[in-house]
Chains A and B, each alone.
Chain A
Amino acid sequence: MVFRHTLRGTIHRFDDLKSLLAAASPLRSGDQLAGIAAESATARVAAQMALADLPLATFLSEAVIPYETDDVTRLILDTHERAAFSPVAHLTVGGFRDWLLGEADPVSLVALRPGLTPEMVAAVSKLMRLQDLIAVAAKCRVTSAFRNTLGLPGRLSVRLQPNSPTDAPAEIAAATLDGLLLGAGDAVIGINPATDNPDTTHRLLDMLAQVIERYDIPTQSCVLAHVTTTLRCIAAGAPVDLVFQSIGGTQGTNESFGISLALLAEAREAALALGRGTVGTNVMYFETGQGSALSAAAHHGVDQQTIEARAYAVARQFDPLLVNSVVGFIGPEYLYDGKQIIRAGLEDHMCAKLLGLPMGVDVCYTNHAEADQDDMDGLLTLLGVAGVNFVMGVPGADDVMLSYQSTSFHDSLYLRAALGLRPAPEFCAWLDRMGLADATPSVLPAGLTPALIGLA
């Protein structure tokens, strides 16, 4: 279908639905690199006007990537629930924006989730300013549970990310202890391994399980290895709480990650069978990020934000405990500067929340992006207002393994204090028991005797 919109006497033409979505997308370097960004600022607004007039139901009859050739498209359309969609079935994309900002309430938004497709939420996000992205996300509450309950109102959780360039146990233990002292770790204690192999992963899983058991911490662990590595660890008897995987919004992207939907289903079954959760059964952890499809040459001419939203359809199929976008990590060729990173982070968060995901964000940047700590403070604060489920906690914001800057343990203390947010309730109780609820003690508490985790 060809779309046309006349703006101030000029007719703007968009060849098909994906071209319209791409042209309507607020400016970002990845769409420019792909050659699909709007040709001018005026053309972008014309595309947004044309998109605003589009009936929401169009996305059910016209796929941006063909049903026949892409299993993510098949997943989206095969799992769509018409009955859930009915409250908004009569609306245009523009009308949907007004409905979301107006009469939509938390209860109706929960009921709507199975009726929404990623393309619908991506489309409406393109018509939104930052405050709209925040206001709508704040209406969405998504909780998940394993050894604690994440995403409750008034809560902000933190993934403790104690990475080491050499996967050295002492380095990881020191960073873990540092994070616990600063109230981090309720979302997960999650390590990105420097080398992805079963032996290293198994060793790190054993270590984290020992930390959680000895200190009796109501949280979960994860080593963010490839799903096939984690499956091998499960087969070898390793204590796997959560299965991690990077995922994307097209079949080709997922193939470039060496995964399929069937493989993810197999991994989830394997983790569920271990029965390690105490208050819930959400056993998956996914990371996503705008630009991964273009990086894998598997974007089909679709803009990177729409493809990112399609990754959330993959995630929600597997009832995850945690999902986060690594928004500033993928590089300036996809999100050039602080302005683009901030908007993308808020888009990712709102789109995922509308689709029903327990969404967090890795508020981050690399040294070749035009961004700095001020940009991260801005995005972190905006996400806090939007009700983000969790953020990262890295010692001093400096990840010494992945060589990028994320948020620090201190940053989460700031955000909790500024907005009156607390950690997950079970973890709060643990912090109280350990005497860590308020100031950080200069002398290590007896209850955290460090020798237990290999620092002696």
Chain B
Amino acid sequence: MTAPAQWRDLRRHTTARVALGRAGNAVPTEAHLAFQADHAAARDAVHTPLVIADLLATLGRTAQVVQSAAPDRVTFLRRPDLGRRLAPDTMIPPMPGCLAIVIADGLSAIAAQCHACDLIAALGHSGPVLIATQARVALGDDIGARLQARAVLMLIGERPGLSSADSLGAYLTWLPRIGRTDAERNCVSNIRPGGLEIAEAAFRLRWLMERMERVGLTGVGLKDESKTLYPAFDPQHGDGRFVR
């Protein structure tokens, strides 16, 4: 690529909002409203509820619907602890030894709504599927423990950024039970068109699940080598600051 000569040429090199121009000291109207539109999409992704009927129709099969102990969105955002356990009186019939998939709203129901069913189809999964609302990642431990599942795969909406409001995360946990830590899971993140494509995500998850069955664990002990088999994938998004 040739070296930039104009300010606006910087845009060729990055997806960041560079070379926006100036209206006095502010950004020009067009750039300002483009930002507002992206923020609005992210806000809507956080607050739009999962449409269960549509999800079941796309899934084309039955799925038990459960909710976390967080009764509403405001409580869910303020009390992550409640989002990690099931609502009182939740009954889940045991299916000992199963591998269950949970479709969860997380912080972007839109991600789950748009991409979870495609991913399940691409995985060729025939075990039980559940749908969980007001859910954090660790809700899968409570669900999996009650199922007596050998493993649970949580497909959950990730915290929306301005560039993507529909990123799905997939968290795989062997022998789920309450108290599992994130170090005991494997994660494939940023699943969406333009991010990690469904086909590639399915490839990596199948690889992880096969390896999980062989070694009998997930997490830091199960090193994800699928990336080198699918070399186009970009590095994991580190946080750089606080672990959450």
Q: 1/0 contact trace for A275-289 toward B, CB 8 Å?
A: 000000000000101
CA distance A356 to B142 in the complex (A): 48
User: Which residues, 314 to 336 on A, are CB-close (under 8 Å) to B?
Assistant: 326, 329-333, 336
Total A-B residue contacts, Cβ distance less than 8 Å:
182
Most chain A Cβ neighbours within 10 Å, of B1, B236, B239 = B239
State the Cβ distance, B10 to closest chain A Cβ, in Å: 4
Does B20 sit at the interface, judged by CB under 8 A? yes
User: Which residues, 96 to 138 on B, are CB-close (under 8 Å) to A?
Assistant: 107
What residue of chain B has the Cβ atom nearest to residue A443's Cβ?
A: B6
* B242, A295: Cβ atoms closer than 8 Å: yes
* A402, B14: Cβ atoms closer than 8 Å: no
* A196, B240: Cβ atoms closer than 8 Å: yes
Q: 1/0 contact trace for A377-400 toward B, CB 8 Å?
A: 000000000000000001111101
* B78, A332: Cβ atoms closer than 8 Å: yes
Most chain A Cβ neighbours within 10 Å, of B13, B107, B163, B239 = B13
User: Which residues, 7 to 44 on B, are CB-close (under 8 Å) to A?
Assistant: 7-11, 13-20, 22, 25-27, 31, 35-36, 38-39, 42-43
State the Cβ distance, B239 to closest chain A Cβ, in Å: 7
CA distance A196 to B243 in the complex (A): 13
Contacts of B214 in A (CB 8 A): none
Does A48 sit at the interface, judged by CB under 8 A? no
Does A174 sit at the interface, judged by CB under 8 A? yes
Most chain A Cβ neighbours within 10 Å, of B16, B42, B161 = B16
* B7, A192: Cβ atoms closer than 8 Å: no
* B4, A287: Cβ atoms closer than 8 Å: no
Does A444 sit at the interface, judged by CB under 8 A? yes
State the Cβ distance, A421 to closest chain B Cβ, in Å: 12
CA distance A368 to B3 in the complex (A): 39
* A289, B19: Cβ atoms closer than 8 Å: no
Contacts of B238 in A (CB 8 A): 193-196
State the Cβ distance, B50 to closest chain A Cβ, in Å: 16
Contacts of A163 in B (CB 8 A): 240
Task: Tell me which of A331, A398, A417, A456 contacts B35 (CB under 8 A).
Answer: A398
User: Which residues, 148 to 168 on A, are CB-close (under 8 Å) to B?
Assistant: 162-168
Contacts of B161 in A (CB 8 A): 367, 400, 403-404
Does A263 sit at the interface, judged by CB under 8 A? no
Does B61 sit at the interface, judged by CB under 8 A? no
Does A217 sit at the interface, judged by CB under 8 A? no
CA distance A16 to B158 in the complex (A): 40
Interface residues on A, range: 35 or more
State the Cβ distance, A287 to closest chain B Cβ, in Å: 7
* A175, B14: Cβ atoms closer than 8 Å: yes
Contacts of A166 in B (CB 8 A): 234-235
* A401, B237: Cβ atoms closer than 8 Å: yes
Contacts A368-B77, A405-B39 given; indicate if A246 touches B241 (C-beta within 8 A): yes
What residue of chain A has the Cβ atom nearest to residue B36's Cβ?
A: A373
State the Cβ distance, A423 to closest chain B Cβ, in Å: 14
Contacts of A368 in B (CB 8 A): 46, 77, 107, 159-160
* B16, A174: Cβ atoms closer than 8 Å: yes
CA distance A326 to B20 in the complex (A): 25
CA distance A164 to B243 in the complex (A): 19
* A443, B240: Cβ atoms closer than 8 Å: no
Contacts of A366 in B (CB 8 A): 159
Does B2 sit at the interface, judged by CB under 8 A? yes
* B13, A174: Cβ atoms closer than 8 Å: yes
Contacts of A444 in B (CB 8 A): 4-7, 9
CA distance A224 to B242 in the complex (A): 12
* A194, B235: Cβ atoms closer than 8 Å: yes
Q: 1/0 contact trace for A167-178 toward B, CB 8 Å?
A: 110110111011
Does A9 sit at the interface, judged by CB under 8 A? no
* B13, A170: Cβ atoms closer than 8 Å: yes
* B14, A174: Cβ atoms closer than 8 Å: yes
Does A260 sit at the interface, judged by CB under 8 A? no
CA distance A171 to B8 in the complex (A): 14
User: Which residues, 344 to 393 on A, are CB-close (under 8 Å) to B?
Assistant: 366-368, 372-373
Contacts A332-B77, A396-B31, A397-B35 given; indicate if A442 touches B239 (C-beta within 8 A): no
CA distance A263 to B158 in the complex (A): 34
Does A60 sit at the interface, judged by CB under 8 A? no
Contacts A32-B78, A414-B25 given; indicate if A402 touches B6 (C-beta within 8 A): no
What residue of chain B has the Cβ atom nearest to residue A166's Cβ?
A: B234
What residue of chain B has the Cβ atom nearest to residue A171's Cβ?
A: B14
Most chain A Cβ neighbours within 10 Å, of B2, B8, B18, B80 = B18
Given contacts A195-B236, A402-B240, A414-B26, list 6 more A-B pairs with CB under 8 A: A162-B16, A193-B238, A195-B235, A368-B77, A403-B159, A444-B7
The 5 tightest CB contacts between A and B, nearest first, are A396-B17, A403-B161, A192-B240, A174-B13, A413-B25
Q: List 9 A-B contacts (CB under 8 A).
A: A167-B235, A174-B11, A194-B237, A367-B45, A367-B160, A395-B20, A396-B16, A440-B22, A441-B7
